Amino acid sequence: MNAFHAPRPIVSTTRPGRAAATPLVLLGLAAAAIGAAGPALAQDAQPQMEHCNQTLGVLRIDEDTGSAWYQYYGGRLGSTAPVLSSIIMDSNCFVVVERGTGERSINDETRRARGDEARESDTRGKGQQVVADYLLKPEIVMAKKGTEGSNVALGGLFRGALGGVVGGALGSVGTSTNEANTALTLVDIRSTVRLASSTGSSKNTDFRLAGLAIGHIGAGGSAYSNTDEGKLITAAFVDAYNKLVVKVRSYKAQTVEGGLGEGGRLGVQGGSTRASRAVDAQVPSK
């Protein structure tokens, strides 16, 4: 028996009274998210996709390209940023700023615009770029195959970048269950405080059905849209993002007496924080 364990539990945050999305619904959501991205099309988002009437702020997708998961999956499937951007833009919850290779092109165009050979224009002055309020940190936690009825392998053997097999021949025809797990973390840039995190999962017992549900994705050429494992991971990111949106809609800031970063409420004798001074005040004088 090939059993593989995720490094973290998958916790459902489905709202009360609302049925959990089935695997094929999630795969369909992934297709909708990638195929109809952009504020102008957000009104056409499927009912199961979480949507915001008011945008919450400006967001930058921050992939840890040096991490073990990216070293493995990035090489197989490419960056998650285009997929996540499409999902986020369709929800209308955040404005996404361009970074990475796109930013290099923007900087090059800006340099050209300010050079002597560019046409005169009053619209290319300084002070126009938008900076992000939040970072969104994605992670592919685990992918695995089912343990029954494996026949023809459509995908490669998943071997973890940290060593050991973390999955199987994902995409095999006839596997009992194929699964992908992802995680998202939202960070406030100004304070560096983590605001919310969520995990998402996607399962499918037959990738032929998945192909029918997600076969018209608009991100042409992306391994997340034209490979079975990519589609499954995309659906897991949709699940994680939906849960994250539910959390941030009801977000309540954590507070600490004295203020964040001011020493906290756990003092030590002889310390300089407010809590430490309170400890010293309780020590009997000799």
pLDDT tens digits, 39-58: 444 444 344 789 999 999 99
Give a yes or no: residue 117 inside a domain.
no
Give a yes or no: residue 7 inside a domain.
no
Question: Which residues constitute the domain of residue 39?
Answer: 23-97+132-254
The per-residue pLDDT for range 160-208, each reduced to its tens digit, is 433 333 333 334 344 457 889 999 999 999 999 999 999 999 987 434 4
Give a yes or no: residue 271 inside a domain.
no
Give a yes or no: residue 111 inside a domain.
no
pLDDT of residue 247: 96
Label each residue of the chain as H, E or C.
CCCCCCCCCCCCCCCCCCCCCCHHHHHHHHHHHHHCCCHHHHHHCCCCCCCCCCCCCEEEECCCCCCHHHHHHHHHHCCCHHHHHHHHHHHCCCEECCCCHHHHHHHHHHHHHCCCCCCCCCCCCCCCCCCCCEEEEEEEEEEECCCCCCCCCCCCEEECCCCCEEEEECCCCCCCCEEEEEEEEEEECCCCCEEEEEEEEEEECCHHHHHHHCCCCCCCCCHHHHCHHHHHHHHHHHHHHHHHHHHHHCCCCCCCCCCCCCCCCCCCCCCCCHHHHHHHHHCCCC
CATH number of the domain residue 163 falls in: 3.40.50
Give a yes or no: residue 42 inside a domain.
yes
Give a yes or no: residue 77 inside a domain.
yes
Give a yes or no: residue 275 inside a domain.
no
pTM assigned to the model: 0.65
The per-residue pLDDT for range 227-259, each reduced to its tens digit, is 888 889 999 999 999 999 999 999 998 888 888
pLDDT of residue 210: 36
Which of the residue ranges 39-48, 85-94, 212-221, 270-279 would you say has the lowest mean pLDDT?
212-221
Over range 70-86, report the average pLDDT: 91
What's the domain count of the chain?
A: 1
The per-residue pLDDT for range 116-172, each reduced to its tens digit, is 777 777 777 777 788 999 999 999 987 776 644 434 333 333 334 333 333 333 343
Give a yes or no: residue 283 inside a domain.
no
